[in-house]
Amino acid sequence: MSAKMEDFYKKIYQKQLEVQDMPSNKRIASWAQNLLNMLFPERNSSAFQGVEDVRKAFEHAEKELLELLEKTKACSQCDNPLIAKRFFETLPEVYQTMWTDAQAIMDGDPAAKSIREVIRTYPGFTAICIYRIAHQLWEAKVPLIPRILTEHAHSKTGIDIHPGAKIGEYLYIDHGTGLVIGETCIIGNHVKLYQGVTLGALSVEKNLANVQRHPIIEDHVIIYAGATILGGQTVIGRHSIIGGNVWLTSSVDPYTTVYHQPTSKFVYDRMES
């Protein structure tokens, strides 16, 4: 074995020693999924026999979060017990917001037959819920774990929501595959987003990390499939409708409809039998 390869193997082993005590991404994602199942037993039948069982389950989830925070080692200066405690103290409000998301899907999708169906089967609802959990940890300045959670949801649903985005109540995501919401995006209440929508940045230079790079979407906006809206100075005014495949890098006034007008012409030939 050459000295070069020996040094390489030693380097890899040393990196393993540095991270071997860290929880896996799978375990972090499992904590969030279990929490979601406790909040919404429609997703997975629970074995609670009474309120005391519920209390104990959430206390256990808090202890598990604290363990994840401690073992991740990404936040050596954080007050991890306080972060875990405050996360669960705010959980009732986060839970209520999740319910508004489920209601928005139920009210907006003609195919939805019940809230139970939305909660159990809709990928948009799952992605929103994981985002809301991750966002609370992001707001507490927890590194790494929020991104692990939203990337897990991304891999499962095809919906990419950065945990730093600020999203109001009653978010409606229909289908959702290919949807991208960037870190500094701000979304108001009662917004509807369809598959393939990108709310992104005009530029991705590193020196723009701490500035508003992504658009602001005001209340009651509808953005249809394939639309791309870019830039931190781009504001989509309330009650506007953005049609499918529209490309926007400038603001839109409230109560405006923007649609894509194709330049190609379709010719239909009828074949004679």
Q: In CATH, what number is assigned to the domain containing residue 217?
A: 2.160.10.10
Same domain for 62 and 136: yes
Residue 189 domain flag: yes
Q: In CATH, what number is assigned to the domain containing residue 141?
A: 1.10.3130.10
Strand 180-181: give its sheet, edge to edge: 160-161, 180-181, 198-200, 228-230, 247-248
> One-letter amino acid identity for 195?
Q
Same domain for 213 and 120: no
Same domain for 180 and 126: no
Residue 273 domain flag: no
- List the domain range (segments joined by +) for residue 251: 165-263
Identify the burial level of 226 via C-beta atoms within 10 angstroms of its C-beta, where 0-12 means exposed, 13-18 middle and 19 or more buried. Answer: middle
Neighbours of 138 (CB within 10 A): 21
The pLDDT, as a whole number, for residue 209 is 64
State how far the alpha carbon of 189 is from the alpha carbons of 73, 150, 164, 167, in Å. 36, 21, 17, 8
Q: Name the CA dihedral angle for 24, 28, 34, 36, rounded to a multiple of 10 degrees.
A: -150
Domain count, the chain: 2
Last residue of a domain, one of 112, 137, 158: 158
Same domain for 154 and 171: no
Residue 215 domain flag: yes
Same domain for 241 and 187: yes
- Give CA–CA dist 168/221, Å, rounded: 12
Q: Which residues pair with 246 in a beta bridge?
A: none
Same domain for 125 and 190: no
Digit-by-digit pLDDT tens for the chain (273 residues) are: 788 888 888 888 888 877 667 788 999 999 999 999 999 988 886 677 889 998 999 999 999 999 999 888 766 678 999 999 999 999 999 999 999 999 999 999 999 999 999 999 999 999 999 999 999 999 999 989 999 999 999 999 999 999 999 999 999 999 999 999 999 999 999 999 999 999 999 876 666 667 899 999 999 999 999 999 999 999 999 999 999 999 999 999 999 999 987 776 666 656 554
Using DSSP bridges, classify how beta strands 166-167 and 192-194 pair: parallel, antiparallel or unpaired. Answer: unpaired
Last residue of a domain, one of 110, 138, 158: 158
Residue 126 domain flag: yes
Residue 272 domain flag: no
Neighbours of 78 (CB within 10 A): 16
- Give CA–CA dist 221/201, Å, rounded: 19
Same domain for 191 and 148: no
- What is the pTM (predicted TM-score) of this model? 0.89
Q: Chain centroid to CA 152: how far?
A: 10
Same domain for 102 and 174: no
Same domain for 205 and 76: no
At 234-262, the pLDDT tens digits run 999 999 999 999 999 999 999 999 998 77
The pLDDT, as a whole number, for residue 75 is 67
Last residue of a domain, one of 158, 184, 217: 158
Residue 269 domain flag: no
159: which residues sit within 8 A by CB, 6+ positions away?
Answer: 123, 124, 127, 153, 173, 176, 177, 179
Same domain for 137 and 101: yes
Same domain for 129 and 50: yes
Same domain for 190 and 139: no
106: which residues sit within 8 A by CB, 6+ positions away?
Answer: 112, 114, 115, 118
- Give CA–CA dist 152/68, Å, rounded: 16
Report helix angle 123-139 to 145-157, nearest 10.
170
The pLDDT, as a whole number, for residue 269 is 57
Q: Chain centroid to CA 169: how far?
A: 14
The pLDDT, as a whole number, for residue 13 is 87
Q: Where are the beta strands (DSSP E) in 43-118?
A: none
